């Protein structure tokens, strides 16, 4: 009817991420516009939560460093040595503590956006 040869020649506007945007794009190849009335509030909360997000990044980085440290211990020391086992136990204990704090901060961060779904925008 429209004498259109390709799906990308159609611009579809919707407000439901799956049925309106993803499905039309993936299945039909349509170009999509997503209407998101929550965006201004999301952005405000995002800016208000920057310090918390920075704490989360630091803790993730710390967990990465603990993992690298653990690998270094395993590669450079005798794994059967009691001192090595103690070092590895301590690293694991530290990682567990950091993981618990990280979990709580991540929950707090996402709850600031919405108590059930968290952030709408990735």
Beta bridge partners of 13: 33
Residues 47, 31, single domain; the answer is no
Q: Are 84 and 78 within 8 A, CB to CB?
A: yes
Residue 7 has a pLDDT of 66
Q: How many domains does the chain have?
A: 2
Write down the pTM of the prediction: 0.68
What is the chain's pLDDT, residue by residue, as a tens digit (122 residues)? Answer: 667 766 666 666 766 666 666 666 677 777 777 777 778 888 899 999 999 999 999 999 999 999 999 999 999 988 789 999 999 999 999 999 999 999 999 999 999 988 777 776 55
Residue 59 has a pLDDT of 98
Residues 78, 61, single domain; the answer is yes
* Residues across the chain: 122
What the block records as the tokens of 49 is 């939560």
Residue 61 inside a domain? The answer is: yes
Q: Residue 55 is part of which domain span?
A: 39-113
């Amino acid at each position: 009817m429209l004498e259109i040869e390709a799906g990308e020649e159609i611009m579809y506007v919707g407000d439901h991420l799956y049925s309106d945007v993803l499905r039309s794009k993936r299945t039909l190849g349509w170009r999509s516009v997503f209407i998101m009335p929550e965006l201004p509030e999301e952005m405000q909360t995002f800016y208000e939560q920057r310090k918390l997000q920075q704490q989360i990044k630091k803790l993730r980085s710390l967990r990465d460093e603990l993992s690298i440290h653990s690998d270094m211990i395993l590669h450079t020391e005798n794994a059967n040595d009691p001192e090595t086992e103690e070092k590895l136990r301590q690293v694991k204990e530290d990682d567990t503590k950091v993981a618990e704090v990280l979990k709580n901060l991540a929950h707090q961060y996402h709850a600031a956006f919405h108590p059930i779904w968290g952030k709408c925008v990735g």
